[in-house]
Amino acid sequence: MKPIKLLILSDCHLEAQPQPNAPSSVSNIAFEKVVQNIKQCCSHPSSQAAFDLIIGLGDICQHGDLQSYLYFKTQIEMLQPADYVVLPGNHDISATMVKVFDKKSVQSMQVASFGTLQLIMLNSQWPNKEAGRLSPDLMQTLKQQLSEQQCLSTLIFLHHPVLNLDTPWMDKIALTNAQAFLDLCVQFPHVKAIVHGHAHQDRELSYQHLAIHSIPSTAYQYKPHCEDVEIDSGGPAYAIITSDEQQQIRRQTVYVD
């Protein structure tokens, strides 16, 4: 299998600008820096293959407005001619997302395959809640998909954290049925890793044979191990996940000044 390269963007929290000359929000400025950094890295002579897929891990914008989704789409489509997938987070408005992206963006599950590598994208949004959940129907659909495709190494993506991050306020708004989800995943050795956003933290944990990747925000990071919300000193960031010919999964986090 040829190497696979994924670009992961999470928690952009873009905001609409009501007037053409209005100053951009902190999140918008940070996102613009991230996009410029990606463009520069991709154009560098030493850059490896282009991205096979771009994944937006949710909380694309702060208030679910149409203008922010259109801006995100325009920027992503300028990066390179790659396919992209967008997942909803707790700040996103599904009814608005489908006006900009295709209806797959709010489906309970999306699947993409690259040779013997399978990517499963789950919608963990719980309407009108900050925390997330996977519906019983989705859990059953996921179990069936994993059972039928045991020959494919699998990465699973969703917005909400699935493990305690030792950050009390964040742990209260994680995936509410995380244990049931993890119990399902560990039944299948071909599930290699789970990738999530929401936490605005760059963390790599594990649960039995699973690697758990927490992807930082393109806007700002939250300080871990805090009782209440505190902004960390780390700048905006994005992640690149690669799978080599031996199906070894690696993640690189890129911070942007």
Q: What is the residue-wise DSSP string for 75-92?
A: HHHHH-S-EEEE---TT-
Q: For the chain, give me the number of helices (H) and strands (E)? A: 6, 11
**Crossing angle for the helix pair 26-43 and 66-79, to the nearest 10 degrees:** 10
User: What is the SS3 assignment for 126?
Assistant: coil
Cα–chain center distance at 126 = 16
pLDDT of residue 42: 76
74 sits in which H/E element: helix 66-79
User: What is the SS3 assignment for 34?
Assistant: helix
pLDDT of residue 104: 85
- Bridge partners (DSSP) of residue 175 are 132
Per-residue pLDDT tens listing for the chain (257 residues): 678 999 999 999 999 875 555 657 889 999 999 999 999 887 655 556 689 999 999 999 999 999 999 999 999 988 876 789 999 999 999 999 999 998 888 899 999 999 999 999 999 999 999 999 999 999 999 999 999 999 999 999 999 999 999 999 999 999 999 999 999 999 999 999 999 999 999 999 999 999 999 999 999 999 999 999 999 988 999 999 999 877 789 999 999 98
Q: Give this prediction's pTM.
A: 0.95
Question: What backbone torsions phi and psi does residue 235 show, to the nearest 5 degrees?
Answer: -85, -170
**Crossing angle for the helix pair 136-148 and 178-185, to the nearest 10 degrees:** 10
Residue 89, amino acid: G
Residue 43, amino acid: S
Those residues with Cβ within 8 angstroms of residue 246's Cβ, 6 or more apart along the chain or in another chain: none
Residues 166, 153, 119: CA angle, nearest 5 degrees? 70
Token pair for residue 144?
Answer: 């069936």
Locate all alpha helices (DSSP H) within 62-215, ordered by sequence. 66-79, 94-100, 136-148, 168-171, 178-185
- Domains of the chain, first to last: 4-255 (3.60.21.10)
pLDDT of residue 2: 77
pLDDT of residue 25: 85
Those residues with Cβ within 8 angstroms of residue 115's Cβ, 6 or more apart along the chain or in another chain: 1, 2, 4
User: What is the SS3 assignment for 236?
Assistant: coil
Distance CA 109, CA 146 (A): 12
Give the 3-state secondary structure of 134-146.
CCHHHHHHHHHHH
Question: What backbone torsions phi and psi does residue 250 show, to the nearest 5 degrees?
Answer: -130, 145
pLDDT of residue 22: 60
